[in-house]
Amino acid sequence: MKDSTEISLSLARPDGTLSSKLKVALTLGCVGLLLLVLALFNIGLSSQGGLLIVAISLISIGVFLYANGLYINKQDGIKNNGVWFKSISSRGTIGWVTGVVLTTFYVVLYFYPKLLGLGIDGQPNSGLVALFDPLSSLLNGNDASQWFVYGTLYTLAILLFGYKFILKYRGNRYQQFRTFSVMLFQLGFAFLIPEFMARLNSNSFTIPSYDLKNMWPLSYDYFDQYSVDEFIQAGNIGLALLIFGVLSIFVISPILTYKYGKRWYCSWVCGCGGLAETAGDSFRQLSSKKLSSWKVERWLVHIVLVFSILMTTAVVGTYLGDDATAYWLTRKVFLIFVAAVLTLVFTLTMVFKRQELGKDARYGAIGFFVVILSLFALYTFGGSSDLLFISSGTLRSAYGFYIGSIFSGVIGTGFYPILGNRVWCRYGCPMAAVLGFQQRLFSKFRITTNGGQCISCGNCSTYCEMGIDVRAYAQKGENIVRSSCVGCGVCAAVCPRGVLKLENGSLEGRINSRDILLGNNMDVTKFAENKSE
Amino acid sequence: MGKFSPNLSTLYQMSEEHVIIIGNGISGITLARHVRKLSSKRITVVSNESNHFFSRTALMYIYMGHMKFEHTKPYEDWFWDKNKIELVNGKVIAVNTNHKCVILENSDELKYDKLVIATGSKPNKFGWPGENLKGVQGLYHLQDLESLEKTAQNNEVCKRAVIIGGGLIGIELAEMLTSRNIPVTFLVRETSFWNHVLPLQESEMLNNHIANNNIDLRLGANLKEIKGGENGSVKSIVIKETDEEIPCNLVGLTAGVSPNVAFIESTDIETNKGVLVSRFLETNIPDVFAIGDCAELRNSKEGRSNIEAMWHTGRIMGETLAQTICGQKVEYEPGHWFNSAKFLKIEYQTYGWVSAVPIGTHQHFQWKNPNEDKCITLEYNKDTLEFIGINTFGIRMRHDIFDTWLTEKRDVNYVIHNLPKANFDPEFYQRYENDILAKYNKQLSTLNT
């Protein structure tokens, strides 16, 4: 008889505890994916429409059955059993392979779309892109592009994994509502509406087709010349859309962020957040919680923000004229305006929030002066297209390449299984930096901790996709007011002691730092507080 | 400056008191952190359980695969160096209070100015036949998790597990084993789960919940003996009441814990079940203190036990003793009672006192949702209507609100009418306050007529 305490090699279980139901589901999904891969090599293209329907159906049924197999018969509650035992979700072999495949896909998508079958110079599409031609012409009347293929698969991923997420968090309405919301915004605003807008275009009517919920600076090309031209050419509707875009970032977003925190966008509306929360949910525990990561995050995300402001300003400067008699908004007027707005924000922050910023005020000031100096340089030395010696065109394409493609796409999504599902949102998104700044200083949102109930178990920190060490606050009884928090609410869900709650409350006592937790007597609290003053 | 600073700081440290803390659990570490906040004393923490502080309550989540061991460490490893808290991995085998030193297993001697015993608990054993067989264990130390990982790696190695003792650790162990599809038989001495603490409504709800999770719950069942097989491993257990023999590969002993103070007993530090301490957490020997699970108060606050093996009492003792050690003598005085736990999927919180059966002038108001595992019990004084405490299952409530209400001695009427203020459930959750109020009013009107 075997010694039961010794771990025997004969007990190896190559596929863990996958039930046969899950295996069938996995097979169906993989066959669907395989059909797409075959299409890539122009195999089986006889009936494109039919093949696409079959492939998408197989993938959908696969994910649907898999999600049901995992969760449908389970009770409400947290379903994280075995997360760190599974290869896919603990940086095992399957995780790494998935990461490499995803990364490769993004490199091809951004830089070698021809490999996907995109027809260049008027040639017809082939391969994978051609497979999507029928769907594309059904929706917008044109042949597919690589972006149409990507958009369709992206939306499909959010819908299918959104279903899985909703099942997983059955019993938690906050999770269900916000997932339903990102699914809706992706399907409607990001996918269908722009296609229909494209369809509306005719000789007598033009309308730019774009995602209404997209905002500068996340949509860094919003104020590019071609984009603004499109708006202006579309007459009154276009102008209204342009004004809406400007209001979105400068008025609507600050109001909503003040009331609800940045979660209204990041985990309820945004497409990047949508994919992270659904398809990326299995990887949230992989984000680094180290203090050093937090430092990197703060430098990186704010550098991207500064880069994006400068780049956009320089780009807008290129198409504004110098002649004030032709149009009042000249390049120089615009530059002065940008500098004035930034100075106003900086001054107000320093006057009202100096205390809260602490040591960060210095970094804020450095950042501010870098931007102002650059604007000054642009004003003084810049020709119509130069920022010092770098042309704004170079700046724009560098941003598009390094930030828009490499950071947000290749690394941001490709590295899900390695660095967690919010790499882009955490380290790179300039929109997250803007909203985070507002959330940290001008918002009613906070995560409240519940007195002395925390047992420091670490579930909250582990499952924070933004890498916030939630426990560090909870075990001190201190509310969590962090610029990076996207308000996904998973920390509150996984807490076994009911310690965390996402709330919008008054600004008074929002940050409640204390040395001694609730439950100890008054004298100790008094001594501790006196000491720290 | 830089060249001389190491020497200077050594000199500086030598002139400072040396505080040695035995045990790196929540109480010892909280003490160390607060002493560091308040002073520049030399601090050494000795433990042979782990190199760094981890959350004991999270051991279950490592086994269940929710977290890895490093996730259970509340501070990164550089924290200790940065805050000049010296960590010694070693086992204390003797304390010499005359020479003010502790002796480690490797015969190192550490001299102290202040000694704090914070060695926690050990699982109870009641002299059952076979209780020292291989495969019989408690769940308290990191080492318990390591042995569980061997004995109950999966349901092929462990065909069945038997858990003895229906408390909070027992139910956690049951949940852990169930997560790996290991069949569990759960022997509970009481006639209903945890009914010496919980009112019947709640205890019965938990009985059902446990059974619904495919755990073989045996109520009113005591252990007679544990039988061994080959290699000295456990083979089966026998139930006292029925003589039924249940084959198993793991026996979890979870019938409570007791202070881990064996190494103190040869010293002149006075012990009973635990290390005896005053309200100031002092032992009978000057400059020697005890905190956390291992401390036994000579006379505790009215209504509180002398030994309270809980996370937050350990933490509060650490916070308190740090003040005393740093020159501001403060009495250990925990505030209003509170606690929380999770029974499989059901969350439980309690604030103030709720007894299993109300006695004297005390009375219960109870509400239960007919469809879900959600219920509350309020205890109050039926003469004065003073609110005494609340148990809440499946609904999260605010600690600070109840703490305030208890301090203000609010009446039960006020509490019921203001329950919405205390709600701590996530946004969009269904609310039950109206339902609760309706039942309360209905009961009130039947009382009045």
| Rounded mean pLDDT for each run of 10 residues along chain A, 533 residues in total | 41 60 94 91 72 94 96 91 95 96 94 91 88 91 92 97 96 96 96 88 79 87 86 86 90 96 96 96 97 94 90 83 78 87 89 81 82 79 58 82 88 94 95 94 95 96 98 95 96 97 90 79 64 45
C-alpha distances (whole Å) from A140 to each of A109, A191, A233, B6 are 21, 11, 20, 73
Is residue A4 within 8 Å of B151, Cβ to Cβ? yes
CB contact under 8 A, B181 and A17: yes
CB contact under 8 A, B330 and A471: no
- The beta-carbon neighbor of A459 closest among B66, B74, B323 is B66
pLDDT at site B445: 81
Give the pLDDT band of residue B39 (cuts 50, 70, 90): very high
CA distance A355 to chain B (A): 22
- Complete DSSP assignment for B232-257: GBEEEEEETTT--EEE-SEEEE-S-E
b/e B222-238 (16+ beta carbons within 10 angstroms → b): ebbebbbbeeebbbbbb
- The beta-carbon neighbor of B65 closest among A83, A489, A532 is A83
Cβ-Cβ pairs closer than 8 A, A with B, add up to: 192
- The beta-carbon neighbor of A80 closest among B66, B320, B424 is B66
pLDDT at site A189: 93
Q: Which helix (H) or strand (E) segment is B122 a member of? A: strand B121-123
User: B6-15: which pairs have CB atoms within 8 A and are 24 or more residues apart?
Assistant: B12/B40, B13/B40, B13/B42, B13/B84, B14/B42
- Chain A residues with beta carbon closer than 8 angstroms to that of B323: 524, 527-528
Q: Which of residues 252-291 of A touch B (CB under 8 A)?
A: 290-291
- Complete DSSP assignment for B194-223: TTTTS-HHHHHHHHHHHHHTTEEEEET--E
Q: At a CB cut-off of 8 Å and minimum separation 6, what does A173 contact? A: B426, B427, B428, B429, B430
Give the pLDDT band of residue B6 (cuts 50, 70, 90): very low
CB contact under 8 A, B428 and A177: yes
Is residue A455 within 8 Å of A428, Cβ to Cβ? no
Give the pLDDT band of residue B4 (cuts 50, 70, 90): very low
CB contact under 8 A, A11 and B156: yes
CA angle B144, B269, B53 (to 5 degrees): 35
- CA nearest to A493 within chain B: B426
**pLDDT tens figures, B299-349:** 998 889 999 999 999 999 999 999 999 999 999 999 999 999 999 999 999
CA distance B169 to chain A (A): 14
Give the strands of the sheet with B375-381, arranged side by side: B338-343, B346-352, B387-393, B375-381, B362-368
- Complete DSSP assignment for B84-111: TEEEEE--EEEEETTTTEEEETT--EEE
- Chain A residues with beta carbon closer than 8 angstroms to that of B40: none
| B319 burial type by CB count under 10 A (0-12 exposed, 13-18 middle, 19+ buried) | buried
Query: Shortest CA distance to A395 belongs to which of A421, A416, A369, A377?
Result: A377
Domains of chain B: 14-122+258-325 (3.50.50.60), 136-255 (3.50.50.60), 338-448 (3.30.390.30)
Q: In this structure, how many other beta carbons lie within 10 angstroms of the beta carbon of residue A354?
A: 11
- Chain A residues with beta carbon closer than 8 angstroms to that of B430: 173
Average pLDDT of chain B? 94
CB contact under 8 A, A5 and B134: yes
**pLDDT tens figures, B65-80:** 999 999 999 999 999 9
**pLDDT tens figures, B379-392:** 999 999 999 999 99
CB contact under 8 A, A531 and B38: yes
Phi and psi torsions of A47, nearest 5°: -125, 95
- Chain A residues with beta carbon closer than 8 angstroms to that of B176: none
CB contact under 8 A, A81 and B64: yes
**pLDDT above 60 for B5:** no
Alpha helix (H) residue ranges in A45-145: 48-71, 93-111, 127-131, 133-140
**pLDDT tens figures, B402-420:** 999 999 999 999 999 999 9
| A492 burial type by CB count under 10 A (0-12 exposed, 13-18 middle, 19+ buried) | buried
Residue A513 sits at the chain B interface (C-beta within 8 Å): no
- In percent, the amount of chain B with pLDDT more than 70 equals 96
Phi and psi torsions of A502, nearest 5°: -80, 130
- CA nearest to A79 within chain B: B66
- Chain A residues with beta carbon closer than 8 angstroms to that of B73: 458
